[in-house]
Amino acid sequence: MAVKTRQQHINREVSWMAFNERVLQEAADPRNPIIERIRFLGIYSNNMDEFFRVRIASLRRMAQLGTRDLSTLEDDPRKILSQVLDLVKKQQVQYERLFGELEEALKTEGIHLLDVHELSDEQYDFIRDFFQREVRHNLYPVIVSKRTRFPALEDHAIYFMVGLTMKGGSRASQYAVVQIPSDMPRFVVLPPSEGKQYVMFLDDVIRLQLHRIFAPFNAERIEAYIMKITRDAELDIDEDISKSLLQKMASSVDRRKKGHYVRFLYDSDMPKHMVEYVTSCLGVSGSENVIAGGRYHNRKDLMGFPLMGRNDLCFEPRPPLPHPLFRKERQNIFEVLAKKDVLLHYPYQQFDHVVNLVRESAIDPHVKSIRINLYRIAENSHIANALMNAVKNGIKVTVVLELQARFDEKNNIKWSKRLQEAGATVLHGVPGLKVHSKLLLITRSENRKSVRYCHVGTGNFHEKTAKVYSDVALLTIRKDIAKEVKKVFDFFENNYQRVQYRQLLVSPFNARRRFTELIKNEIDNAKKGLSSGIVLKLNNLVDSTLIKRLYEASQAGVQVQLIVRGVCSLVPGIPGLSENIRVTSIVGRFLEHARIYRFENAGNPLFYLGSADWMTRNLDYRVEVTVPVLDDDIKTELDDILRIQLAGNVKARIIDSSLKNKYVPREEGEEVIHSQEELYRYYKAKLESYL
């Protein structure tokens, strides 16, 4: 059945906006505790900043050049830009409404988010003293006039645009720009009073004390309006062959600070003449995303909204559980892995097991080498520190550290230098390819033989994100898999080599072909009357070629079940095309980040897990590694994970062409299944059964 492209695919950017609306749904959901709902507003705001810095910036460049990009499925970038900005404005209205509702909800709990008009005399005295003691020395106003250039505004920062009206009734004849300190907490907690608690934006603390800063001007009136800019985050890496990649990246990150403006967000109460003045100085216009917002910007800081001692207004703690096989305090990890493959599932289980594996390797006299590839790592990484310790103990350490992990470039440059200084061999990926795989390979001498212990995962070696990102990792010493993991690391060191992979699915070499073959196998089985089926758990599904293969599977009668957290360009439920495809999305307290693939294979299911989403960039322009799961117990566990998530009817949304994000319906009397809570109970019961 011929169906037009626009019916077959949902635009990537519009689908992403639908995903971020699911985050807003979490902020609106009264089943979530109030402070967690506020934090979801912060997550939404943070997502929007990144969206503008990357996707909107990209669309803007394409629109200016008059080009089209295959990744947008042949849509006109100008049309997409207009469509997306309309959605942004609609969601902005919804966001402001939710923020107001949550302010009122806090009041019912005795927590008051104060503004400048609500302070008692005692509270004003506290704010005045706090400002003088903690804030004033962090403020550096820039006076703007015809004789001085308007200051370059930093991405991620927020500013007051200040208008000074001089005595004598003249119009605001002087402007100033004041940056809100970014190295201070955004919220100031005031002393409690009469059983009530009080908190205030740092912005308002400064706003109240502006007369002190500008006392020399003897102004009659001082007006201050918040504003922020978003810059194009694209890195322009120069081609100077005399520089190392590390030097080029450092220079490029520095130049990012001067990237083109892609959004100017300002307080909607800012006077028109002031808006016109600022946009003129910045060189932006309405067509370049000038957006009126609320009184407060950079609401990503809501992710750090203070607890106020009210744990009852937050999610009930779900401390990561030990894996049953690693539950003993002095359990030797190598001995466990010598007997059996292990699947780790964060944050339900402890990421500390991986940290401990690297730490133990760093002091084990039998370990000869450690190879690891790092994409995103914590600012104070235990993994990286353990690697440096391994070097001190005479172990050969090779780190493939991807410098082009977007927005983590600065941190990765820092760790690259530290690891090199410690004596580790640091490789900066592969020319033309980002290294996004999650590999660890430890070579150990046992009975005069080399035994390789390997890790293939879906998430980064990052202690902080492992507490909130839901990821899986396979630990194994299977020779056929470990041998091919070694081949991947050999490729990092010798890019000219091309090798065959029989077990691993490695982008950009064989992953696309193998995924296509796995889908075709299900199609062939369905046509033969054999059992067939595909279950995919992904972050994003965008690649048009694989989407077409899934449509072909549906047309052949294959039941396709997809769990897609973020962007999904596939349209399920089109008669004659995708009626056998069901797509849901789960957004909850944990960020669904795992990639798990299940193919029915005529009753002998094949399972895979890895780092690759089904996006063109992941399949053709990055090094990604997907591993087959061969252990029967782990296959059963992956089946259980998928079964629980497919049955979820609390935080799961239906993805269809309408993009309405409707919750999965629940029949009267039907069991309530919150998949993330159910998975925690699943692992808790699993642990208890071993005790």
Q: Provide the annotated active-site residues.
A: 436
Residue 483: is it exposed, middle or buried by C-beta count within 10 angstroms (0-12/13-18/19+)?
A: middle
SS3 of 674, please? coil
Q: Which residues pair with 500 in a beta bridge?
A: none
Q: What Cα–Cα distance (Å) separates residue 412 from each residue in 239, 389, 426?
A: 21, 18, 11
Q: What Cα–Cα distance (Å) separates residue 264 from each residue in 15, 287, 292, 305?
A: 23, 11, 8, 25
Evaluate the omega torsion of the peptide bond into residue 320 and state whether it is cis, within 30 degrees of 0.
Answer: no
Q: What is the largest CA-CA distance in the chain?
A: 92
What is the total residue count of the chain? 691
Spell out the SS3 assignment of 208-253.
HCHHHHCHHHCEEEEEEEEEEEEECCCCCCCCCCCCCHHHHHHHHH
Q: Which long-range contacts (CB under 8 A, 24 or more apart) does 247-252 make?
A: 249/403, 249/404, 249/409, 249/413, 249/428, 250/413, 252/409
Strand order in the sheet with 196-201: 111-114, 196-201, 187-193
Closest CA to 214 of 163, 169, 171: 163
User: To 10 degrees, what angle do helices 245-256 and 409-422 make?
Assistant: 150
Spell out the SS3 assignment of 348-361.
CECCHHHHHHHHHH
DSSP assignment, residue 602? Answer: G
User: How far is the C-alpha of 361 from the C-alpha of 387, rounded, in Å?
Assistant: 9
User: How far is the C-alpha of 479 from the C-alpha of 375, rounded, in Å?
Assistant: 25
Sign, Cα dihedral of 677, 678, 683, 684 = positive
Q: Which residues pair with 608 in a beta bridge?
A: 597, 628
CA angle centred on 221, ends 217 and 226, rounded to 5°: 100
Evaluate the omega torsion of the peptide bond into residue 508 and state whether it is cis, within 30 degrees of 0.
Answer: yes
User: How far is the C-alpha of 403 from the C-alpha of 398, rounded, in Å?
Assistant: 15
Residues 577/653, Cβ–Cβ less than 8 Å: no
Q: For the CA atoms of 335, 340, 341, 343, what is the dihedral angle to 10 degrees?
A: -90
Residues 567/19, Cβ–Cβ less than 8 Å: yes
Closest CA to 144 of 167, 161, 168: 161
For β-strands 290-293 and 342-346, DSSP reports them as unpaired
User: How far is the C-alpha of 54 from the C-alpha of 12, rounded, in Å?
Assistant: 13
Residues 37/102, Cβ–Cβ less than 8 Å: yes
